[in-house]
Structure 1
Amino acid sequence: MIHFNGLHHVSLAVRSLDIARAFYSEKLMLQEIPRPPFNSTGVWYAVGDQQLHLLEHPGGDTLRERGIDTVDGHFAFWVKSHSDTKAWLEEQGIPYEARPDSVAGFAQIYVLDPDRNILEFGAPYGS
């Protein structure tokens, strides 16, 4: 039996590390953390006790082209406030799809990063 302690990291393929870094570092304000000297190009971010790893994949053949499809692969950040997150996304000019009364049991907001990876922001109802 495997005894899971939690999720360590999520890795996403990106076409351009410069464009991805501008989105994740400058718009979402995630904190970069040191990355080992792999034979690939990437950047790591701290997200609470977990990590987000971006890996440059210039060929792009592993990347999606469609818009927000919530049954497609995605990952979710848990945030404190649904309304504050919406306000920040609007301030940054990031289009989103909000579901404040989602049947999921919490409020949801979906966005696309520059490579069309789907990101979800979950928050308590009414926050």
Structure 2
Amino acid sequence: MIQFERIHHVSLAVRDLALARSFYSDKLRFQEIERPPFKSRGVWYAIGSSQQLHLLEHPNGEALRTSGIDSVDGHFAIWVTSYSGTIAWLENQGIPYEARPQSVAGFAQIYILDPDHNIIEFDSTYDS
């Protein structure tokens, strides 16, 4: 039997690595970490103390999604410390979002799209 420890990383396809890096590094302020010298183009980010997000520029300039926020579609979620602080940050950065403060999940949810329409979910307790 496989004994799982944790998710190590999530990888997302992007069309334009420079645009994606600007969004994740400059707007969301994710911490970039060293990436091995793969032949492909990409950038890696630390998420918390032991997980990572890997952005991979698709060699044909294609990505998987073109539509808007759909929480039933593939996405990744990050637990944040403040619902209201996250909303304020997104508004300050001019990033559109869909807020679900009283979600049936039992915790607050905020959804955004990156420039390639990858869905990102921020979760927290509701702190109006």
Same fold (TM over 0.5): yes
Given that 2:44 and 2:52 are in contact with CA atoms closer than 8 Å, whether structure 1 keeps it comes out as yes
Partner of 1:66: 67
1:124 aligns with 2:121: no
Q: Structure 2 counterpart of 1:2, which letter?
A: I
Report how far residue 62 of structure 1 moved: 3.9
Q: CA–CA distance in 1 between the matches of 2:108 and 2:59?
A: 34
* TM norm structure 1: 0.96
Q: CA–CA distance in 2 between the matches of 1:93 and 1:66?
A: 19
Q: CA–CA distance in 1 between the matches of 2:63 and 2:82?
A: 33
Report how far residue 58 of structure 1 moved: 4.5
* RMSD of aligned residue pairs (Cα, Å): 1.1
Given that 2:83 and 2:108 are in contact with CA atoms closer than 8 Å, whether structure 1 keeps it comes out as yes
Q: CA–CA distance in 1 between the matches of 2:26 and 2:9?
A: 20
Over the matched positions of the two proteins, sequence identity in percent amounts to 72
Partner of 2:33: 33
1:113 aligns with 2:114: yes
Cα deviation 1:62-110 (Å, max 9, x = unaligned) = 4200000000000001100000000000000000000000010110000
Unpaired stretches in structure 1, ≥5 consecutive residues: none
* TM norm structure 2: 0.96
Partner of 2:10: 10
Unpaired stretches in structure 2, ≥5 consecutive residues: none
Aligned residues: 127
**4+ aligned runs moved over 3 Å, structure 1:** none
